[in-house]
């Protein structure tokens, strides 16, 4: 079975955890429409430790590539922060995916928006287009497969 095209959203401050989950998903045959964590790693190697440190042109590139990655995804998996709640970037990506759904650009019978962890009242976690699960294993069980 061929894996799904995924967009994995998560807190940039917890990029190591995001990378570990990405490796887990890749091992199952899933592919990513945008590996934004590689850019975060690059930013850190350049000494850009916060979004405020990153040049505007580079951030604009990030925004465009992230949007395009969301547009191409069979599923969006969004990781809540370990302490609960959503990082600002991840929250925006979930909101964009929900907007795509309600604009009928994606079909949730085949495409999924899955939030992993405790969103701590994050408004979009209550939207019918979003499924909230406690663990990545639960998210994996919900993933679509290409060609299904």
CATH of the domain at 114: 3.40.50
Q: How far apart are CA 120 and CA 63, in angstroms?
A: 25
Extended beta strands in the chain, E state: 5-9, 31-32, 75-79, 112-116, 130-133
**Bridge pairing between strands 5-9 and 112-116:** unpaired
Q: Residue 17, SS3? A: helix
Asked, for residue 101, whether it belongs to a domain, the answer is yes
Is 26 within a domain?
A: yes
DSSP 108: T
Q: Classify residue 121: in a domain, yes or no.
A: yes
Inside any domain, residue 15: yes
Within-domain flag for 148: no
- Domain membership of residue 86 (yes or no) is yes
Q: How many domains does the chain have?
A: 1
- Whether residue 147 lies inside any domain: the answer is no
Q: Answer yes or no: is 124 within a domain.
A: yes
Q: Provide mean pLDDT across the span 18-39.
A: 96
**Spatial separation of the C-alpha atoms in residues 27 and 113, rounded to whole Å:** 21
N- to C-terminal Cα distance for the chain?
A: 8
Q: Tens digit of pLDDT for each residue in 70-127?
A: 999 989 999 999 999 999 999 999 999 999 888 876 555 556 899 999 999 999 999 9
- State the pTM of this model: 0.91
Owning domain of residue 132: 5-142
For 5, the 3-state DSSP assignment is strand
Burial (CB count within 10 angstroms: exposed 0-12, middle 13-18, buried 19+), residue 58: middle
User: Which pLDDT score, from 0 to 100, does residue 107 have?
Assistant: 59
pLDDT in tens, 96-111: 999 988 887 655 555 6
């Amino acid at each position: 079975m061929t894996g799904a095209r995924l967009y994995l959203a998560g807190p940039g401050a917890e990029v190591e955890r995001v990378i570990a989950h990405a490796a887990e998903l890749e091992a199952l045959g899933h592919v990513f429409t945008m590996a934004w964590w590689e850019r975060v790693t690059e930013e850190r190697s350049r000494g850009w430790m916060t979004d405020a440190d990153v040049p505007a042109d580079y951030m604009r590139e990030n925004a465009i590539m992230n949007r395009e990655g969301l547009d191409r995804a069979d599923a969006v998996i969004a990781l809540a922060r370990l302490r609960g709640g959503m990082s600002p970037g991840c929250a925006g990506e979930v909101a964009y995916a929900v907007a795509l759904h309600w604009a009928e650009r994606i079909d949730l019978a085949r495409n999924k928006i899955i939030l992993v962890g405790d969103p701590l009242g994050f408004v979009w976690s209550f939207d019918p287009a979003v499924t909230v699960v406690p663990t990545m294993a639960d998210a994996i069980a919900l993933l679509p497969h290409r060609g299904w």
